[in-house]
Amino acid sequence: MILLYIIAGLLIIYSILILYYRAGWYELPAFNPGQEIAGIKISVIIPARNEAGNIGQLFASIQAQSYPAHLFEVIVVDDNSTDNTVEITKEFPFVKTIQLRIDNINSYKKKAIETGIAAAKGELIVTTDADCIVPVHWLKTIAAFKKETNAYFIAAPVVIDFKNSFLQIFQALDFLVLQGITAASVQKSIHNMCNGANLAYERKTFYDVSGFGGIDTIASGDDMLLMQKISRRFPGKLSYMLAKDAIVITQAAKTWKEFFNQRIRWASKATHYNDIKILSALLLVYFFNLGLFVLFIAGFWFHYLWLGFACIVFAKTIIEFVFIYPVANFFEKTSLLKWFLLFQPVHILYTVIAGGLGHFGSFEWKGRRVK
């Protein structure tokens, strides 16, 4: 019963946090770029490794941008690809390719981005991933937002492209929650969250905070750890851009192994956060889900605990649904919400596993074993 009371208490704190995120989401104004061209020179940096199956689609979507071609450049930094990624980039003359010839480091992606920025000519750096597709007004919207807000760092929306499989539907739902929290946390200045598939920041600001210096040995964190550095140096100069014209589409993991490796990689950077607010939020979420897992297991010995487990999970679902509905509506993914209750047990289990292994284990990324 003590365990049950503790988890019920965590539910109350967790619910307050989720409702606070909901308030943050509703405070965000939707952004529309209008017709005017901002005229900001942009450098799009794309780190890539073995992305032959995806990168052509990304280039085609960038080639179709409504932003004038003379105002942006595209730099791909190839990280020792063993497929024909480089050959595909050569089919697109507007793409500049740089070969990353470095080995035996722990963060290849940061080194790739750093290398691309060193060669960039634009005042605004925009990053995305090689497995993404960008909308036609992507760069136009980012430039307009930068001109209007003068934000030094811009986090922007990302959505998962999914097929009708259990794994991919689960990922799409989980990612919607993360996107909602990202937007709300930036708006409320609670803590810093973002996704490297859709980021923009000043080239000057990158160097003002010494780039990835001090975090370059950490496998993950090219997005959030950099955001943390910029937030400390330039408080109040970070913004979330809530714009449908800038939603980047990323690919879902195709296997459970790939999915867990991705989430463990994301979780691995948590111990390097210097912000007590995000650490507190992450610990609350982790121990709440761990408590639910322990409560379910304890029910094999004390069956009445299963009733408590069911009641708490149902209450958790309602609170999260109230938060996720407007987020799903913005991304036009409300059809996914019929799966929300069904996926609750899976979400609890994955949170416990990924959170634990992210701290204590290693993971595979792009064919490499890193920690």
Q: Name the percent of the chain lying above pLDDT 70.
A: 92
Q: What pTM was computed for the model?
A: 0.88
The answer, yes or no, to whether residue 273 has pLDDT greater than 70, is no
The answer, yes or no, to whether residue 102 has pLDDT greater than 80, is no
Query: Which residues fall within 8 angstroms of residue 14, CB to CB, at 6 or more apart?
Result: 284, 285, 288, 316, 319
Q: How far is CA 237 from CA 93, 137, 186, 213, 240, in A?
A: 35, 24, 11, 20, 10
The answer, yes or no, to whether residue 154 has pLDDT greater than 70, is yes
Overall average pLDDT of the 184-188 stretch? 93
Biggest alpha carbon–alpha carbon distance for the chain? 68
pLDDT band at 156; cut points 50, 70, 90: very high
CB 46 within 8 A of CB 58: yes
Closest CA to 366 of 133, 120, 112: 112
pLDDT of residue 79: 87
The answer, yes or no, to whether residue 244 has pLDDT greater than 80, is yes
Q: What is the DSSP letter of 132?
A: -
Token pair, residue 99, equals 């070969």
pLDDT of residue 276: 78
Token pair, residue 9, equals 């208490």
Which of 99-108, 286-295, 341-350 has the least mean pLDDT?
99-108
The answer, yes or no, to whether residue 169 has pLDDT greater than 60, is yes
pLDDT band at 370; cut points 50, 70, 90: low
Overall average pLDDT of the 231-239 stretch? 93
Overall average pLDDT of the 329-357 stretch? 88
Number of Cβ within a 10 Å radius of residue 82: 9
Overall average pLDDT of the 286-304 stretch? 91
Q: How far apart are CA 42 and CA 172, in angstroms?
A: 30
Overall average pLDDT of the 352-367 stretch? 64
Overall average pLDDT of the 195-214 stretch? 94
Phi–psi pair at 102, nearest 5 degrees: -130, 140
Q: Name the percent of the chain lying above pLDDT 90.
A: 64
Closest CA to 187 of 19, 24, 16: 24
Q: What is the DSSP string of 194-222?
A: --TTSEEEEHHHHHHTTTTTTTTTSSS-T
Overall average pLDDT of the 303-311 stretch? 90
Overall average pLDDT of the 291-309 stretch? 90
The answer, yes or no, to whether residue 253 has pLDDT greater than 80, is yes
pLDDT of residue 318: 95
Which of 72-76, 215-219, 230-234, 315-319 has the least mean pLDDT?
215-219
pLDDT of residue 271: 61
Q: How far apart are CA 139 and CA 127, in angstroms?
A: 11
The answer, yes or no, to whether residue 163 has pLDDT greater than 90, is no
Work out the burial of residue 371: count CB atoms within 10 Å of its CB; fewer than 13 is exposed, 13-18 middle, 19 or more buried: exposed
The rounded mean pLDDT for the chain is 89
CB 142 within 8 A of CB 200: yes
Token pair, residue 322, equals 């109230």
Burial 133-150 (b: 16+ CB within 10 A, else e): bbbebbbbbbbbbbeeee
Number of Cβ within a 10 Å radius of residue 249: 18
pLDDT of residue 270: 60
The answer, yes or no, to whether residue 319 has pLDDT greater than 60, is yes
Would residue 77 be called left, alpha or beta, if left means φ above 0 and alpha means ψ between -120 and 50 degrees?
beta
